[in-house]
């Protein structure tokens, strides 16, 4: 693998292996090198070479790096550095040794087993915690950034083998002074994980992230996305008009308390939906912990290692796919 060198400050990154790729970018596991044989494992995100010279892609990539630079939260993948090597921009990020949520679901499907209800709720509560932080983030002048992720889905949630849950990929997020996808003309996000307002080309606010987070919760509980259709346009129509089922009829372990949380998250009228990620998180945590000893990061970590047959000394996570 080649090495990237940031000439301005002498930091060198040695690419180890490709761990994700998408239409416009690549993500590598890499070693950050330093004095005295210092090595730190990081993730390096690159624009594909054929796109790296296009100003619009450079602008979006730089905008993403600027946006996430100060998002420092245990439930968000951290960004350390933006560099340029021979005209190619790259982003240095926290390396999460684990799998993404899509792989987590696929593993359960392959084994023919359901995801435990409490772990599904716990994972989504952690994502909601990260969103609550991002949605309230202000810049250094104290201006509210009005961040909307706009791409909540299983591929963009990482599960570390230690049990940490981390939201990633703010590449199409909208925020103060950093909005490149003009709402009203284009749809940002994946068709089967949109909010009704995204699907109808409406202007979004933070509540638009909560409907797809509700979709993720139901997908974890059912091992399928009820809105997904073969045709992308049909997926959008399903999100806008398909009757929302009683999920307890699809999985009996879903009790009335969790059913109420799901129904509120999947309310199409955003004035009646959860008004904040914090409220969504709080209801999930009350459901999980008010009358019992609920799941923990450590419990999820043990479950993941058993699920993927990972030994404590195993240092190689499976390759995950994500939209870089």
Positions marked catalytic: 151
> Do β-strands 88-94 and 38-47 pair in parallel, antiparallel, or remain unpaired?
antiparallel
Q: Which long-range contacts (CB under 8 A, 24 or more apart) does 253-258 make?
A: 253/117, 254/117, 254/221, 257/287, 258/117, 258/121, 258/287
Count of beta carbons in the 10 Å neighbourhood of residue 97: 16
Asked if 320 contacts 103 with a C-beta cutoff of 8 angstroms, the reply is yes
> Do β-strands 38-47 and 25-34 pair in parallel, antiparallel, or remain unpaired?
antiparallel
Unique residue bearing structure tokens 């709402």: 183
CA distance 47 to 38: 27
The tally of CA atoms less than 13 A away on the side-chain side of residue 238 is 18
109: helix, coil or strand?
Answer: helix
Q: ∠43-52-5 over CA atoms, to 5°?
A: 50
């Amino acid at each position: 693998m080649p090495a990237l060198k940031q000439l301005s400050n002498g930091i060198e990154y040695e690419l180890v292996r490709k761990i994700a790729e998408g239409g416009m970018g690549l993500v590598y596991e890499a070693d950050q090198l330093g004095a005295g044989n210092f090595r730190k494992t990081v993730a390096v995100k690159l624009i594909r070479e054929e796109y790296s010279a296009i100003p619009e892609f450079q602008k979006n990539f730089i905008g993403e790096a600027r946006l996430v630079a100060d998002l420092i939260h245990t439930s968000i993948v951290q960004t350390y550095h933006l560099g340029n090597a021979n005209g190619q921009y790259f982003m240095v990020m926290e390396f999460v040794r684990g799998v993404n949520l899509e792989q987590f679901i696929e593993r359960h499907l392959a084994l023919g087993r359901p995801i435990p209800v409490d772990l599904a709720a716990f994972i989504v509560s952690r994502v909601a915690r990260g969103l609550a932080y991002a949605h309230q983030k202000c810049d250094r002048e104290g201006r509210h950034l009005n961040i909307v992720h706009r791409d909540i889905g299983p591929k963009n949630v990482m599960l570390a083998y230690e049990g940490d849950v981390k939201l990633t990929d703010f590449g199409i997020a909208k925020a103060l002074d950093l909005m490149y996808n003009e709402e009203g003309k284009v749809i940002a996000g994946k068709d089967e994980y949109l909010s009704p307002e995204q699907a109808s080309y409406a202007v979004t606010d933070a509540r638009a992230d909560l409907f797809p987070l509700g979709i993720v919760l139901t997908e974890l509980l059912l091992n399928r996305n009820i809105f997904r259709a073969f045709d992308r346009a049909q997926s959008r129509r399903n999100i806008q008009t398909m009757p929302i089922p009683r999920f307890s009829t699809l999985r009996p372990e879903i009790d009335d308390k969790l059913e109420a949380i799901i129904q509120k998250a999947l309310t199409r009228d955003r004035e009646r939906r959860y008004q904040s990620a914090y409220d969504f998180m709080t209801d999930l945590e009350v459901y999980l912990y008010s009358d019992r000893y609920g799941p923990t990061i450590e419990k999820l970590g043990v479950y993941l290692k058993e699920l993927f047959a990972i030994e404590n000394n195993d240092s190689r996570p499976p390759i995950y796919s994500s939209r870089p």
